[in-house]
Structure 1
């Protein structure tokens, strides 16, 4: 009998547990990010401040989501970072559009109104990101497919094997 991989031994957390973890990790980082954007925006254009804060928070949150939110317990792979960055770029666009609309509608919005609009747009984008991360980026079938492809004793159908998938757990990108 073959030893099961860690992904096969323990199922990932359910949707509610994952969403709770997502809100704690991503929401906490997002809230801190909103204050960082406000601070940086006093020195540079708001869109640049948002881009810098989004990039930094995306790297940190992807690692937390890989290790904790979706139950993998492993560092995020390069593929996961790239896919997460794509969903973060969409979230960045949503927050930028929301803030540009606010600035178009209100000549000089208060800091409270700016934060409320930014956090609301971030929350809506965050819900969409959760779905993408759970169903695509950190989906269990990706890990099982790459693990199965590395095991010669278990043939993988051509429709499942993917030549760009990592060969196995030992070839995953490890972040420092």
Structure 2
């Protein structure tokens, strides 16, 4: 019979985790860029990016929980919420990059839009890797930060009887 501890996979090293992050997250990111481009032909770009970001974040968080960071199981609600926070920041950066492109180039080509979008995604991806590894999927925060937790000593409280003030009572106090 396996215990929960034996079912847990060992956390991969930083290089392995980053390689897995690039494959899983990068694959989802590239697919997302094509999905955004396709959706943006029907709806406003910012809305298309928001929808694709939401769906791709759910998918990528599951992949990262199962494969990238060695959790070996589904992502928890807390992990999805924390990952969504980092994805919201990535969404803001990609939107700002695309708005800057629209401001600088009157009619950018689809190829240039893809380059700008993927470049912004790559920059935010590196930041997301750090957040996901060090915060969202950190197994033991004390190990991740290098600190050691120790138990605090518990001090016993002893009730003392007041010293008798009557000399006749001294033989009872002893």
TM-score category (smaller protein): 0.7 to 0.9
CA distance in 2, matches of 1:50, 1:4: 39
The runs of 5 or more residues in structure 2 that have no matched partner are 144-149, 153-174
Greater relative contact order (Cα < 8 A, sep 6+): 1
The runs of 5 or more residues in structure 1 that have no matched partner are 145-155, 159-176
Cα pair distance change 1:47/1:4, threshold 3 Å? closer
Query: Equivalent residues in 2 for 1:50-129 (5 A)?
Result: 50-129=49-128
TM-score, normalization by structure 1? 0.77
Aligned pair count reads 143
The higher radius of gyration belongs to 2
Deviation digits for residues 31-79 of structure 1 (CA, Å, limit 9, x no counterpart): 0000000000000100000000000000000000000000010100000
Q: CA deviation at 1:140?
A: 1.2
Query: After the TM superposition, which segments of 4 or more aligned residues of structure 1 sit over 4 Å from their partners?
Result: none
Cα pair distance change 1:4/1:54, threshold 3 Å? closer
Cα pair 2:93 2:124 within 8 Å, conserved: yes
Deviation digits for residues 105-145 of structure 1 (CA, Å, limit 9, x no counterpart): 00100000000000000000000000000000000116x9x
